[in-house]
Each structure stands twice: as structure tokens, then as C-alpha cells.
Structure 1
Amino acid sequence: MPAYDFSLIISGKNEFTDADVNALFEAGCDDGTPGSNSGVASIDFTRDGDSLLWSIRSAIADVEKAGFKVTRVEIATSALAE
């Protein structure tokens, strides 16, 4: 199964606490790396899946299960060429 790289931008957060990171891990985001840059919180994923769309949808569902809202998805253009 291929792995897809993308980032989810999180609404209403400018950085993650240890409790946030634990909640994300417990919700199934163990393949994501939370971080922030210039006050914008995001989670970088490398997620295995049948398709890029499936991987993004499942990651959004896991992030929402942890109690966060996804504002947007960012994908490097090089990932779209694969």
C-alpha cells in the first residue's frame, strides 16, 4: 500500500500541548507529526492508504476524533505527480 504525504492545518490552535499530542496519538494519528510555524498549528502526515483521498479523509476523521477542526489540507505539488 502506498504512503501519502500531506499536512492538515488546524483551526483555533497556534501550538500543541503535550495533552493535545497525546489526544492525537490516542485518536490514531501516530503517523502524524504535530507542529507549529508562525502561530499556525499543523500536523504533517505520511499515511498509508489505497489513495491520496482516502488517506486524507481518514486523517481528518482521526484529527476530529481527537477534538480538533481541520481548516485546510496542504499537499506538495511533487506528491501529486506520483
Structure 2
Amino acid sequence: MSVAQQVSKPLGHWVSMSVGHQVSRSVCHCDPFANAYDEEISVQEELLELQSNKELKPRLSHGYQQFWLQKEVPVLYPAVWGM
């Protein structure tokens, strides 16, 4: 299940994870009961953009952790990243 497949898929909750040399990043652990329509409009817009981004879709095949740790994801989707 990918965020890019449907807007109504889980948004998830975030936990802090140490990556590399004391660099802290956030990783999404999806909540199957979360509903995207309950979120703010800016988050819904970013989820729609994720859904249609053909460059990012293939990267989801490596899993959510690898996807969310890409450098451009927090820059392109700050509302979703900051949850």
C-alpha cells in the first residue's frame, strides 16, 4: 500500500529514528485507521500531489522508510513530513 496510490490511505504517525551520525529523521509508521479527509487541506493537497508524482511512485517499492528518508521528500511535502 503506498501513499501515492490513494489519498484515503493511511497518513500514519511519526516516530523519531536516529540515522547515520547522530542525524535524527522521522519515519512514517502507517495507522490503518487514519483517514486523509480528516486532515487539513494543505496535507490533503500534498497527498494528492504524492499520488500523481510519477517520479516518486517507483521509489515506494523500496518501502516507506527509504521513501521518507529521501532528501527531496521533506522539501516537497513539508505538511505531510511534519506530521
TM-score of the pair, normalised by structure 2: 0.28
Higher strand share: 1
Hey, which of these two has a bigger chunk of helix by percent? 2
| Higher RCO (CA < 8 A, seq sep 6+) | 1
State TM-score, norm by structure 1.
Answer: 0.28
